[in-house]
Amino acid sequence: MQATVLSSTLRGTDGLLVEVEVDLANYGFPRFSIVGLAEGAVRESKDRVRSALRNGGYKVSARRITVNLAPADVKKDGAAFDLPIALGMLAASGQLPPDHLRAYASLGELSLDGRVKAVRGALPVAAAIRTSGLRGLLVPSENAREAAVIQGIEVIPVPTLAEAFEFLRGERAIAAAHVDLAEVFRAEAQFEADFSDVKGQEAVKRALEVAAAGGHNVILIGPPGAGKTMLAKRLPTILPALTLEEALETTRVHSVLGLMDGRSLIATRPFRAPHHTISDAGLIGGGSVPRPGEVSLAHHGVLFLDELPEFRKNVLEVLRQPLEERRITIARAAGSITFPADIMLIAAMNPCPCGFLGDAQRSCTCTTMQVQHYRSRVSGPLLDRIDIQVEVGAVPYRDLAAQAPGESSAALRVRVDRARALQLERFRDRPIFRNAQMATRDLRHYCVVEPTAARLLEQAMDKLALSARAYARILKVARTIADLAAADCIATGHVAEAIQYRSLDRAVP
């Protein structure tokens, strides 16, 4: 006897519909085989499924059991096929009417006593089920709120195999899970950190406001204890709120890696800060079955790289593609997978190995050669993709002892939102959303410079030996500064401020 149950697997950050075909035969030697490019966790499901069925009081007397996962040329991994395999065996043995399985897909890991445990990727799977036109999806109770974010299908939470069995037989009514998205955004859109907590560093706060307004990448250079990490952690608090579409894209990545932690939606911009010992696969993704890395987990948010020169050079170099194209493509023999990577990069580093080069209070012990070697760990092509380079000095005592709070994140965000609105209007007919995304040809149309500002920029290029790439970066940042001032043209003050944000720029010989 044979039965087919619908389920889904993950391909990148998307769900792919899978037909779980179960055949029970009362001949030949006893055997339970799973075919269809099943990875280890999928092949091991036969032991979990048999124990769950036996402990639940169900009986499957067939001597030969064959499970086919179609399409057979796509790798399947994870334990999410336990529940559909068990339901397929019950249907093939006549205990569950097969026609009841046509409207619902299912996924879930089974414990040996029949409990249905949480799995990865419930949200992208639910999106795939909606696209396929099915009525609904049976999921573990822990995944129900996450999957219910996808509107238009019934998401049925099933805590045990027995309840899933009874629901499909029509013997038990289970209410579909429901999520109030507006309430989720209200509850989640809260930050523990705030820029009002930062003492002093007004110039750096201004630089981060400019970065947030234009989507510019930033590098902070300063001695230990100056507050670089503290400032970086507060950057997401002044970025524009996530739209529903952006939140769903970000949640997909976290769902695929099983990082939802009971949440139904990622409603605030993520902040990821990987350690400098991370591998290139950990940063951009990879593996035999490719999975997203830290860059994709920071999608629509901030990726913070502290102690930038301490990262291995091959790890930093893989950032060049996502910073330029806002996506990551991982190629394998079986094909290529693209992960989203629309991030703002904020990096931090000391000015020298000891950290005190240029410090007014403590003397630097590094030689010129040591300083050059330290800074050369960050390549020119990577610095080329960082628009704002700002020095972070030590905070004086009078600022640390000040009782008055600094400007709040909410006040900064108001100005950032106004500048972003101008950019959305400016680029309404282009696939561009922020000033930082402008190509060289866009500078002529959108970066109109006043004559006095042009002369100042020319003098800076000559006296500071700025490179051609620095010229483009200065214009982009100046355009953002002008947007913050609601100015149509780029004035002298806008260019002067943008030039200050090139402290690490290297001259081209």
**Residues 306-331 pLDDT 10s:** 999 999 999 999 998 899 899 999 88
| Per-residue confidence band for 506, with pLDDT thresholds at 50, 70 and 90 | very low
How would you classify residue 390: left for phi > 0, otherwise alpha for psi between -120 and 50, otherwise beta?
beta
In 264-374, which ranges are E strands? Answer: 271-272, 285-286, 291-292, 302-305, 327-332, 335-340, 344-349
Q: Are 497 and 476 in contact (CB under 8 A)?
A: no
Q: Which CATH class is domain 188-437?
A: alpha beta
The Cα–Cα gap between 131 and 446 comes to 40
Q: Are 307 and 347 in contact (CB under 8 A)?
A: no
| Per-residue confidence band for 505, with pLDDT thresholds at 50, 70 and 90 | low
The Cα–Cα gap between 426 and 423 comes to 5
Number of helical (H) and strand (E) elements in the chain, helices listed first? 22, 18
| Per-residue confidence band for 334, with pLDDT thresholds at 50, 70 and 90 | low
The Cα–Cα gap between 8 and 120 comes to 11
How is residue 398 written in tokens?
Answer: 């009078």
| Per-residue confidence band for 402, with pLDDT thresholds at 50, 70 and 90 | confident
**Residues 214-224 pLDDT 10s:** 999 999 999 99
Q: What is the mean pLDDT of residues 339-359?
A: 93
CATH of domain 2-168: 3.30.230.10
Which residues, including other chains, have CB under 8 Å from residue 205's CB and lie 6 or more apart? 195, 198, 231, 406, 407, 412
Average pLDDT value over all residues in the chain: 92
The Cα–Cα gap between 45 and 36 comes to 14
Q: What is the mean pLDDT of residues 187-215?
A: 91
In whole angstroms, how far apart are CA 395 and each of 143, 204, 389, 456, 500?
A: 47, 11, 19, 31, 19
Other CB atoms within 10 A of residue 117 CB: 18
Boundaries of every domain in the chain: 2-168, 188-437
Percent of the residues in the chain that have a pLDDT greater than 70, as a whole number: 99
What's residue 507's pLDDT? 35
Residue 304 has pLDDT above 70, yes or no: yes
Q: Say which range, 81-85, 96-100, 412-416, has the weakest mean pLDDT.
A: 96-100
Three-state secondary-structure class, residue 482: helix
**Residues 161-188 pLDDT 10s:** 999 999 999 999 999 999 999 898 888 7
In 71-158, which ranges are E strands? Answer: 104-106, 109-110, 116-117, 136-139, 154-157
Question: What are phi and psi for residue 9, nearest 5 degrees?
Answer: -125, 175
The Cα–Cα gap between 252 and 89 comes to 31
Which residues, including other chains, have CB under 8 Å from residue 140's CB and lie 6 or more apart? 108, 109, 116, 117, 118, 119, 157, 158, 159
DSSP 38: B
